[in-house]
Structure 1
Amino acid sequence: MELINFRVGQKTISLKILDILLTERFEDNLTALPNDNKSFIGVKDYMETPTPIFDLGIILNKQSTQDSNLSLVDLFSGWEQKQHEWFFALENSINQNQPFNHNTDIQQSNFAKWYSSFKTENEDLRAIIERFKIPHARLYSRANKLIELVKKGNPKQALIELNIERNSNFMQLIRLFESAKEQIVLDYKPIIIFTTKDGRTPHIGLLVDKVEDNISYKKEDIKPLDKLTDVGFEIDPQTKNMMRGLIKLEHKHSVLIDPSAIFRPDHLMHQHTEETAEYGLF
């Protein structure tokens, strides 16, 4: 069986090649229609057929990837603001010859703890995060030396060296924040998968983050979800209906999706949609 893997947030999903008519870049040009289903984001014409489009991010993750990305950008902006506040507080303590009441131990830095534990599938973003460590550690190290200069009665020299830090390690840190936020926004290039039930006409469209790879699997490679549900692992009905099993990849699992099990909005139903218990694997 030939499958194609797609990325949806931190999850990987698989669809049979025979279930796919076409993939195309999402241009945010859907026709909105009233509907109570949060995952239904609009209609797009395909082969002169109004086709409902569903956001798989909302179905699988309870939040669209775009909203998740915006939240992550806001998080980076928050950490960036804290670094500005820390640096300005250091500058003010030198100017006013007052104690610096912020942390200067890199091991106790909440920001350092955060970026050290940060995980992402985005390799470029992960590389940017890794680069935070050196300028951030240098800033903390230099801050202790500047504080010692002030204590020894040399605030002017401390200010001179602080300006050097402003134009080097501090600015490098700020540029990395901007690069990280830009990477998050630019990396998101969602696509619509137009699916089919008969191999000719569109059934629904699914919004996903990106195409990953093609894989070939045998029926015995598909692990059922029974064990998850038997131990009380709750899955909402819409998601459960379309999940047909787990596929073991190299370092993770992919969820096999049956797009025919996702209902069409009532106002678009021109034919009865069958939701079968078994997915035709072969």
Structure 2
Amino acid sequence: MDFINFKVGQKTIALKILDILLTERFENNLTALPNNNKSFIGVKDYMGSPTPIFDLGLILNNESTHVTNASLADLLQAREKDHIEWFKQLEHSITTGEPFGLARDPHQCAFGKWYDNFKTDNEDLDSILKRFDEPHKRIHSLADTLLNLIRQGQKEEALEIFASEKRTTFTLLLRLFESAREQVVLDYKPIIIFTTKDGQNPHIGLLVDKVEDSVSVDKSDIKPLDKLTSIGFDIDPQTRNMMRGLIKMEKSHSVIIDSSAIFKPSELEEATLIE
């Protein structure tokens, strides 16, 4: 059996090749219609046939990948501002002798706590994040180093080191925050999958993050759905109804989706009904 794998957030889903008419880049040019289904994002013509489009991220993850990415970019922006303020406070303490009360342990600041626990399968983002480790730790270590110099009466040396680290390590840290945000935003290039039930006419369109690869598997290699709970799929019964099994991949699983079972005919009719 031949499938194509697609990425939806942190999950990988598979559709039968015979269930796919076309994939195309999502250009945010759908026709919006009033509807109560939060995953329905609009209608797009396929060969003259108005086709309802659904955000698979909302169906599987309860949140659009676009929203997830925007939240991550906002978090990185906030943590960058934290470190700008941290650096200003350290400079203030060095120049005035006032106590410095912010985190000196790189694992205890808000970014450090997030950084130590964040996981991503976005290889480019992961590569950027790994580069944070050394400069982030070095910046936090400055507090003890420079404040010790102040206590020893070596204020001029402390200010020289501070200025040097501001030009180098701190500038690098800010550039990494910028690069990470850009990667989160620019890497998201969603596509629409036009699915079919008869091999000719469009059924529904599904918004996914990107195409992963194509795979051929024997029917005997498809695992039953009772394995879902062990790989992070906490789903409701209605959503589970569209899932047909698991394909074992090198590091994880791909979940086989039956697009014809995602919605009942009455729900599709409602999605395209203009009130």
2:137 corresponding residue in structure 1: 137
Distance 1:69 1:228 in 2: 25
Q: Does the 8 Å contact 2:2/2:217 carry over to 1?
A: yes
Question: Which SS does the other structure have where 1:106 is aligned?
Answer: coil
Q: 1:234: Cα distance to partner?
A: 6.6
Amino acid at match of 1:258: D
Q: Does the 8 Å contact 1:190/1:210 carry over to 2?
A: yes
| 2:262 is the alignment partner of 1:266 | no
Distance 1:42 1:107 in 2: 44
2:186 corresponding residue in structure 1: 186
Q: 1:159: Cα distance to partner?
A: 1.8
| 2:16 is the alignment partner of 1:12 | no
Question: Which SS does the other structure have where 1:153 is aligned?
Answer: coil
Query: Which runs of 5 or more structure 1 residues have no equivalent in the other structure?
Result: 270-282
Q: Does the 8 Å contact 1:5/1:215 carry over to 2?
A: yes
| 2:34 is the alignment partner of 1:34 | yes
Q: How does 1:55-94 map to 2 (within 5 A)?
A: 55-94=55-94
Q: Does the 8 Å contact 2:43/2:272 carry over to 1?
A: no
Distance 2:122 2:269 in 1: 34
Q: How does 1:238-257 map to 2 (within 5 A)?
A: 238-257=238-257
Distance 1:209 1:109 in 2: 32
| Cα distance, 1:149–1:41 mapped onto 2, change above 3 Å | same
Q: How does 1:37-186 map to 2 (within 5 A)?
A: 37-106=37-106, 108-186=108-186
Q: Does the 8 Å contact 1:112/1:133 carry over to 2?
A: no
Distance 1:96 1:251 in 2: 54
Distance 1:235 1:107 in 2: 33
Q: How does 1:192-203 map to 2 (within 5 A)?
A: 192-203=192-203
Distance 2:132 2:102 in 1: 19
| Cα distance, 1:67–1:161 mapped onto 2, change above 3 Å | same
1:273 corresponding residue in structure 2: none
Distance 2:51 2:30 in 1: 10
Query: Which runs of 5 or more structure 2 residues have no equivalent in the other structure?
Result: none
Aligned residues: 266
Distance 2:14 2:145 in 1: 55
Question: Which SS does the other structure have where 1:85 is aligned?
Answer: helix
The alignment's TM-score, normalised by the length of structure 2, stands at 0.91
Q: Does the 8 Å contact 1:5/1:212 carry over to 2?
A: yes
| Cα distance, 1:226–1:99 mapped onto 2, change above 3 Å | closer
Amino acid at match of 2:28: D
Amino acid at match of 1:218: D
Distance 2:37 2:129 in 1: 36
Distance 2:234 2:150 in 1: 60
Distance 1:195 1:241 in 2: 17
Amino acid at match of 2:58: I
Q: Which moved more, 1:111-120 or 1:176-185?
A: 111-120
CA deviation digits over 1:32-63, x for unaligned, max 9?
A: 00111110000000000000000000000000
Q: Does the 8 Å contact 2:107/2:116 carry over to 1?
A: no
Distance 1:42 1:55 in 2: 10
